[in-house]
Structure 1
Amino acid sequence: MQHSPWHRWITLAIISFSGGVSFDLAYLRYIYQIPMAKFMGFSNTEIGLIMSTFGITAIILYAPSGVIADKFSHRKMITSAMIITGLLGLVMATYPPLWVMLLIQVAFAMTTILMLWSVSIKAASMLGDSSEQGKIMGWMEGLRGVGVMSLAVFTMWAFSRFDPEDPNSLKTVILIYSVVYILLGILCWFFVADGVNPSDASKPSEKKAFQFSDILSVLRISTTWYCSLIIFGVYTIYAILSYSTNYLTEMYGMSLVAASYMGIVINKIFRAFCGPLGGIITTYSRVKSPTRVIQILSVVSALTLMALLATNNHPQSVAVGIGLILLLAFTCYASRGLYFACPGEARTPTFIMGTTVGICSVIGFLPDVFVYPIVGHWQDTLPAEEAYRNMWLMGLGAVCMVIVFTFLLFRKIRAVSRETENVASMATESLGQ
C-alpha cells in the first residue's frame, strides 16, 4: 500500500525515536550512576554488573534478531517491544533488589535487541527504494539522536526539580521513560507496516542468508575481523565516555546536576550531531574513505587521551577537562556514524552483508560485557585518580587498536581496488584485440 510522503517521514521518525530511546533505561547509569548508587542502594561494582548483564545477553541476541526481522510482523514486534520495555520500567521504578534488576536487564535485552534492533533497521529501510537507503539511514541515525537528546533533557529537568536527597527524583525519571515507551509503542501500531512478504520465504537468496556455511565463510574473510575490531575499539571509547559525569564530579568537584547536564551534552546531544558529521566529512572532504576518516579521528582521539592522562593527576581547569572530553566525544560519535560503512567499502558481497554486519555487531559490541564491571571495580577499590587513569589507559589501548586495524583494512581495500582495475584493464585490452 502506497503512503503519502508525510506519512513515510512520520513513520521513520516514530521508528527512529523508538529505536533510540528504548535503550535509555537499560543504560540509565550513563547519566544517573550516582543517583542509582544513592537511591537504589547499589555499589559501583554492582551497577557495572547490571550493565554487563545487559551486554552479555545482547551479544547473544544480535544474530537471531535478524531472523526475527525477516520472519515476523514489524508492527507487532516493535509495538510489543516498546510496551513491554515500558512495563519493565514500571517495575524498575520500585527500586527492586539486585537479582530483580539483573532479570530486568535480561528482559530489556530481549525487547530492545531481539525484538527491536534489526526489526527497526529493516522497517526503516523498507520506507524507500535502493537509491534512498543512504538518505533514510542517515536521517534515522540523526532522528534517533534527536529523540534521545530531547527525552534526556526533559528527564534531567524533571530530576533537577527535586531536592538532591529526594529518592523520588530518580523514580520520576524512570516513570517518564516508561510512559513514553508505552506511548511510542501505541503509535508504532498505527504507523508501522507489517513488512513481511510470505513469498520471500521461498526465494533461494533468503534461504541462503541463514545457512551456517555462510557464517563460516564470513569468518574466513580477513576484512570481517578488521571491521569488527575497528567497531570494538570505537565502542570501547563510547562505553568509557559514559563515565564523564562521574569523572567531572569526582575529579573536578562539579555539582551532580551540572555534571549530569554535561553528561547529556556528551552522551546525547553529541550523538545527535556528530554521527551525521562523519558522513558529511566523507562526502565533501578530500578523504572519501570512511575507513581513512575513522583512522584520522582515532589519531585525534589518541592525542586527546594522552592529554587527559597528563591532566588526570593534577586537574585544575574544569574548562580544559570538559573541552578534552567533548573532543573525545566528537571523534567517537563521528566514527560511530561511519563504522558500519566499512564492510561496504571493503566490497563485502551483498548476499553475506547481513551476516557480516551481525558478526561485526557480536564482536564489536563486546565492550558492553567487560568495560562497566571493570571500571566499576576500579571506582570501588582504587583512589579516584588511579581509577580514571586506568580508564583512560584502557581507552588509549582501544584507540591504538583502531589505528592499526583501519591501516590493515585500508591496505586491503586498496589491494582489492588495484586487482579490480587490473582485471578491468586486461578485459579492455582483450576486447581491443
Structure 2
Amino acid sequence: MKPKDILILIVLGMCGGTIYLLPYMKYYFFNQMVESTGTSGQALGYLVTMFAIACLFVLLPGGILADRLSSKKCIFWSLISTTALTVIYGLTYQSYTLSLFIWFLLAFSTIFLAWPAIMKTVRTVGGERTSTAYSIYYASNGLTGALAGYITIKVYSVVTEHYVASGFFWSVMVSAIANGGMAFLLLYLLRDVKETIGDKSGKLPTLQDSYSVMKMPVIWFIAIVMFCTYSLYVGMTFFTPYLTAVFRVSDETSGTLSLVRSYVFMSITPFTGLIADRWMKSSLKWFTVATPIVIVCLIALISVRENADMIIPVMFLTMIAAFFVCTLYASMFSIMSECRIPMEIAGTAIGLVSIFSYTPDIIIQPLFGYFVDSKQYFLIFIMLAAMGALSVLSCILLLRNKAQNIPEPTTT
C-alpha cells in the first residue's frame, strides 16, 4: 500500500471521527450538555433515539444512491451539511424541539450518503488489502474521536472560566470547524482516486440491480457476521461495570482499562489487518481464529462468577477478549470484498448489512443494561459467547462458498 493511500485512509478515518461528534455528543459531553441546554439525561437520550431510528430508514436508500453518485461528492457535501447543522445547533441549542429536528436531519447528513460512500472509498483505496485498509480507517477514526472529544471538553472548560454563556457554543464549534476542515482536505486528497460508478461498461445499476442484492444469500451471512461482531463490540463496554460491581475494581482503574480497550487496542488493529491480508490472505480466516479466542475468554468469565481471588485473571481475560473484538470490529467490512460483492453495488450492500449490523445499539444496549441492573453478568457473557459461535459458523459457510469457486455474484 502506497504512503498516499495510507494518508487517505487516515484522513477518511478522521472524517468518520468528526462527522459523528455532534450526534453522539452526549457520550463524551453529557454533564455539560445537561447543564447548558437545561434538559435531562433522558431528553438527551431521546435525541440519540431520534437519530438512530432515522438512520434505519436512510441506510438502504442512501446505499442505493451512493452506487450512482460520486463518493467524493457524497462525503464532501455530507461533511458540509453536517457543519451547517452543527452551527445551527450551536446557535439554537436551548430549543429542545429544534434540537430533535436537527438530530433527525443529522441522520441524512452523516449516514444517508456519507456512511456507504466512506466505506466504499476505503475499499477502493485498500484494493486487495481491505482488512488492513479498514483497520487503518477505524484506528484513525477512534483516535480522532478521542482527541476531538478531549479538545471539546478543554475548550468548554477554558471559555467558561471567562464567558460562561459562550462555553457551550464554542465547544460545539469545535465539531463544526473539524467537519468543515476535513471536507476540503479530503476533497483535495481524493482528487486522483479513481472511482467505480456503474459496471465495467459504465452503465449505472438500476433499482432492480440494487434490490437484487437482497436475494444474495452471501449478503445475509455477512450481515449475521457483522451483527454478531458489533454485538461483541457493544458487549465489551459492559466489562467496566462488571469489574467495578463484582470485583470492586476502582473507578479510576476500570476507567483506564476502558480507555485502553476503546482506543489503544483500536489504534493497533492495522497490524492484525496486515496479518489477515499478508499471512492468512483472508479476513474470514482471521475471524475463525480470533472469534474462538473471544469465546474461550467469555466462557472462562462465566465459570469464574464472583470469586474475588480471581481479580487479576479476570482483568486479563477481559483485556484479551477486548483486543480480539477490536480487531474483528475494525476489519468486518473487509469481508464484503473477500466475498466478491461487486463494487458497482457495494453502496447498496453496505447500506443493507448496516441496517442489521448496528441494531445491537437498539436491542442489546437496553437488554444488557437490564442484566447489569439485576447483576446477571453471566447472562451477558452467555449471549456474547453464543453470538461468537454464530459468527464463526457463518464465517465457515462463507469460506466454503468461496472455496467452491462460485462465479462472482451478479446483479441480474
Fold-level similarity (TM above 0.5): yes
Structure 1 equivalent of residue 17 of structure 2? 20
Structure 2 equivalent of residue 53 of structure 1? 50
Residue 371 in 1 paired to residue 333 in 2? no
Structure 2 equivalent of residue 356 of structure 1? 349
1:414 is displaced (CA, Å) by 2.6
Residue 282 in 1 paired to residue 268 in 2? no
Structure 2 equivalent of residue 111 of structure 1? 109
Residue 229 in 1 paired to residue 224 in 2? yes
Q: What is the CA–CA distance in structure 2 between the aligned matches of 1:63 and 1:213, rounded to whole Å?
A: 13
Provide closer, same or farther for how the CA distance between residues 410 and 300 of structure 1 changes in structure 2, counting only shifts above 3 A. same
**AA aligned opposite 2:276:** T
> Which of 410, 413, 426 matches 2:396?
410
Q: What is the CA–CA distance in structure 2 between the aligned matches of 1:35 and 1:326, rounded to whole Å?
A: 31
Q: What is the CA–CA distance in structure 2 between the aligned matches of 1:313 and 1:48, rounded to whole Å?
A: 32
Is the 8 Å Cα contact of residues 148 and 268 (structure 1) preserved in structure 2? Answer: no
Structure 2 equivalent of residue 212 of structure 1? 208
Is the 8 Å Cα contact of residues 59 and 355 (structure 2) preserved in structure 1? Answer: yes
**AA aligned opposite 2:62:** S
CA displacement, residues 76-119 of structure 1 (integer Å, 9 cap, x when unaligned): 54333223323434455565465444333222221111232233
1:240 is displaced (CA, Å) by 3.5
Is the 8 Å Cα contact of residues 61 and 348 (structure 2) preserved in structure 1? Answer: no
Provide closer, same or farther for how the CA distance between residues 169 and 312 of structure 1 changes in structure 2, counting only shifts above 3 A. farther
Structure 1 equivalent of residue 410 of structure 2? none
Q: What is the CA–CA distance in structure 1 between the aligned matches of 2:256 and 2:85, rounded to whole Å?
A: 26
- 1:263-342 alignment, distance < 5 Å: 263-274=258-269, 276-283=270-277, 289-306=282-299, 323-342=316-335
Is the 8 Å Cα contact of residues 308 and 321 (structure 1) preserved in structure 2? Answer: yes
Provide closer, same or farther for how the CA distance between residues 288 and 120 of structure 1 changes in structure 2, counting only shifts above 3 A. closer
Provide closer, same or farther for how the CA distance between residues 85 and 350 of structure 1 changes in structure 2, counting only shifts above 3 A. closer
Structure 1 equivalent of residue 409 of structure 2? none
Is the 8 Å Cα contact of residues 292 and 406 (structure 1) preserved in structure 2? Answer: no
Provide closer, same or farther for how the CA distance between residues 152 and 268 of structure 1 changes in structure 2, counting only shifts above 3 A. farther
* 2:333 counterpart SS class: helix
1:40 is displaced (CA, Å) by 5.5
Is the 8 Å Cα contact of residues 79 and 185 (structure 1) preserved in structure 2? Answer: yes
Q: What is the CA–CA distance in structure 1 between the aligned matches of 2:3 and 2:402, rounded to whole Å?
A: 42
**AA aligned opposite 2:56:** I
**AA aligned opposite 2:148:** L
1:22 is displaced (CA, Å) by 1.5
TM-score, scaled relative to structure 1 = 0.71
Larger radius of gyration: 1
Provide closer, same or farther for how the CA distance between residues 194 and 106 of structure 1 changes in structure 2, counting only shifts above 3 A. farther
**AA aligned opposite 2:275:** I
* 2:396 counterpart SS class: helix
Structure 2 equivalent of residue 185 of structure 1? 183
1:319 is displaced (CA, Å) by 6.3
Structure 1, unmatched stretches of 5+, are: 421-433
1:232 is displaced (CA, Å) by 0.5
1:407 is displaced (CA, Å) by 1.7
Alignment: residue pair count: 401
1:279 is displaced (CA, Å) by 2.0
1:334 is displaced (CA, Å) by 0.7
Q: What is the CA–CA distance in structure 2 between the aligned matches of 1:97 and 1:188, rounded to whole Å?
A: 33
1:327 is displaced (CA, Å) by 2.9
Is the 8 Å Cα contact of residues 22 and 112 (structure 1) preserved in structure 2? Answer: yes
TM-score, scaled relative to structure 2 = 0.74
Provide closer, same or farther for how the CA distance between residues 419 and 151 of structure 1 changes in structure 2, counting only shifts above 3 A. closer
Q: What is the CA–CA distance in structure 1 between the aligned matches of 2:63 and 2:197, rounded to whole Å?
A: 15
Residue 65 in 1 paired to residue 53 in 2? no
Is the 8 Å Cα contact of residues 32 and 260 (structure 1) preserved in structure 2? Answer: no
Provide closer, same or farther for how the CA distance between residues 236 and 201 of structure 1 changes in structure 2, counting only shifts above 3 A. closer
Pick which of 152-161 and 47-56 moved more.
152-161
CA displacement, residues 304-354 of structure 1 (integer Å, 9 cap, x when unaligned): 344555677677988666544433321221111332233444455666555
* 1:25 counterpart SS class: coil
CA displacement, residues 161-198 of structure 1 (integer Å, 9 cap, x when unaligned): 799xx99987765443333223323434554439798x
Residue 86 in 1 paired to residue 80 in 2? no
Matched residues, percent identical? 19
Q: What is the CA–CA distance in structure 2 between the aligned matches of 1:362 and 1:20, rounded to whole Å?
A: 20
Q: What is the CA–CA distance in structure 2 between the aligned matches of 1:343 and 1:189, rounded to whole Å?
A: 25
Cα RMSD of the aligned pairs, angstroms, is 4.5
